[in-house]
Structure 1
Amino acid sequence: MKELGQCGPYTLRRWVAAGGMGEVFLSHGPTPRGPGPVAVKRLLPQAKDDPIFVQMFLDEGRLVKGLRHPNICAVYDLGEDHGQYYIAMEWADGVSLEQLITRARGRGGLPVEAVARIIADIANALDYAHRFRDEQDRFLAIVHRDVSPPNIMIGLRGRVKLLDFGLAKARSQLTKTQPGTVKGKFGYLAPEQLTGDVDARTDVFALGLCMYEAMTGEAFFNQETAAETVMNIRAYTSPPSAIPKRREVWPELDAVIKRALWPRRELRFQSAGEMRNAIEQALLDRRQRVDAKRLESVVRELFPEKKPLEDSVAPPPIAPTPIASAKDLDELEVMEELELITLPKTLKKNGLVIAVIAFGAVLLISAAALLLL
């Protein structure tokens, strides 16, 4: 395999994906288990000179490097090489929950018990992150803010991972969100995210939306435009039932979805751990033991063409994603007219408007690196 250069101690072997600010390479270098495959993410030249995005990139790396959980994609290293910042992350073969949902639509949907296990594992990861304290025992009040099907990965060996803390909010960050700025994918926003007032229950709401979509095959809020989606969220008054869309959904799991999706935070599960426990109880009551082997069989049945890294032929890289299209900018103007978001002038001036609402989407190159095999 032709090498593409060096980034710190990591040998870049294949360019995988690019976004508006960064690119990811399949690389080889040190890992906790010895030399092996690594995903290396680094800023693009047009972004690496912007101090705002450099700091956001560093915030993400420092934050996730401290997290150690089997259901969170691990960061091995945060470094700088000849003025180029990079994050070295765990490389895992698998597919996203979004890909699973899409592939399963014409095949009767995902198994209910498999969805329950995936969501319970992500709730477990979120509960850990929400409660996390650093080495000085400081509570960081982490909120992911971008829990969505593209950021949930199920490995070819059935391991479930939460990806991309590029939008995460924590007390340790040096960069602060501007008042009124919306961060996250519009279709997975909790009502309170429209004002920027978030806490751990915001992630619970987003996970409830993921669970609804995985059970029914349909996204709950998504409309054709961002403005229409946000207006749907503003008009939202009561949680949905998944059963009318799919009769196989267990009533006890439907109750989990509905409780997670209350517009008023005080009526939701008050922690991701509480949501996890409710799902685990439903699985226990139904005598359903769903482990990694069961999830592995689901992934392999839906994606028989997927092969582990050591057995696979490298796919062609995907084309870079532009910073913003004309349609994106038109929608942002509509959003400003609705007075739903505030865009920092410095970002507008630099032509990086889209990053305010979709920094996680731009940095989803980390997820793409893990999912493209």
Structure 2
Amino acid sequence: MDNITSQATHSIKPLEPGTLLNGIYLIDSLQGQGRYGLVYLAFDQQTGKNVALKEVCAQSSNHQSKFQQLEAALEKVQRLEHPNITKTLDFFYDDGRFFIVMEWFDGDSLNNAITYQKLSIAKRYYIAQQLISAIQHATKQGFIHGALSLDNIMINKSGKTVIVDYGLQLLTPDIDGNADVRQLMPMPPEDIKSKALPTSDWYAFGTVLFELMNKTAPFSNKSVNLHYQSKLSLAPIHKYNQFANLNPLLEGLLTPNAKKRLTDAPLIQQQFDRALTTKSSRTGIQTAALITVSLCLGILILSIVK
């Protein structure tokens, strides 16, 4: 394995447009800086398609070991296929720098969508529905995201939602008193103290669902210790949740007891449907159902035309 340059993300000089990597990928533009590194729009000269090229940056002293583990994880992640999970296509080293090639998804983060867009109840229902399907598929295949958050969930103008960064939780820095509590928001209490479990992604979905419906975080974000204690108590849920009927579902997802956590996808979907089919939101659910049916019909028509 090539030697990897151990640098913090902000210290890495972005690649210039027109740079050719691995003899295949032509850099178009820098799209942004994510949790794990820089993200570029690139052109795959072999397939003739745009791809997302992520330059991954390890920020720990044992970065060599981290990248070895990452390679093994990505080889498995390449087998993960679902319409709401971005496909990992390739990974390679170029001049001591590590890159992951993923399907290009023309959209914005769910964090930005919640902050800057007015999302109808119908659209929020559709987003949650897609996430439940994606997490159910991944966990059945034995994959744990381990760092699911509003920042690595993407949504486009039509409302299609995808999860990115499967396999990259290995690069998450060790948690200490100076950790960014915002990044700890989707993590269950056991992750803060140890390692991700198969139930962790459902807990993360609970925090995403809370913010999706309320535009505010469900827990304290003052310090790592207070954040941890807040998660153990579950106290803020009733205080902030504007959709009271969602409380049983949220409590089932966000319970600090991993063994009692709600992880059955059909039951989660059922409880979510029931919670939103109130007098105030029935119209939104009906609209969401129409959207879902329309999308299915559109896909069927396209398949017939082809």
* 2:54 maps to which of 32, 41, 61: 41
Cα deviation for residue 78 of structure 1 reads 2.2
| Number of the residue aligned with 1:71 | 84
Gap change, CA 1:30 and 1:123, over 3 Å in 2: farther
* TM-score under structure 2 length normalisation: 0.72
Matched-pair identity in %: 24
Cα deviation for residue 293 of structure 1 reads 5.8
1:103 aligns with 2:116: yes
In structure 1, give the amino acid aligned to 2:133.
N
Cα deviation for residue 289 of structure 1 reads 4.4
1:224 aligns with 2:225: no
Deviations 1:6-48 (A, max 9, x none): 33411112123346863322100158xx412111123459989
| Number of the residue aligned with 2:250 | 257
1:62 aligns with 2:75: yes
Aligned counterparts, 1:22-171, within 5 A: 22-29=37-44, 34-43=47-56, 50-81=63-94, 83-104=96-117, 110-132=119-141, 141-168=142-169
> For the Cα contact (< 8 Å) 2:210–2:218, is it kept in 1?
yes
* TM-score under structure 1 length normalisation: 0.60
Aligned counterparts, 1:197-346, within 5 A: 198-234=196-232, 236-237=233-234, 240-241=237-238, 245-246=241-242, 249=243, 251=245, 253-280=246-273, 286=282, 288-290=286-288
Gap change, CA 1:210 and 1:60, over 3 Å in 2: same
SS at match of 1:241: helix
Gap change, CA 1:231 and 1:157, over 3 Å in 2: same
SS at match of 1:121: helix
Cα RMSD (Å) of the superposition?
A: 3.8
In structure 1, give the amino acid aligned to 2:110.
L
What count of residue pairs does the alignment treat as equivalent? 269
Gap change, CA 1:46 and 1:210, over 3 Å in 2: closer
**Structure 1 unpaired stretches of 5+:** 133-140, 170-174, 295-373
**Structure 2 unpaired stretches of 5+:** 1-15, 293-306
SS at match of 1:290: helix
Gap change, CA 1:94 and 1:69, over 3 Å in 2: same
Gap change, CA 1:99 and 1:183, over 3 Å in 2: closer
More relative contact order in 1 or in 2 (CA 8 Å, sep 6+)?
Answer: 1
Cα deviation for residue 202 of structure 1 reads 1.9
Cα deviation for residue 183 of structure 1 reads 12
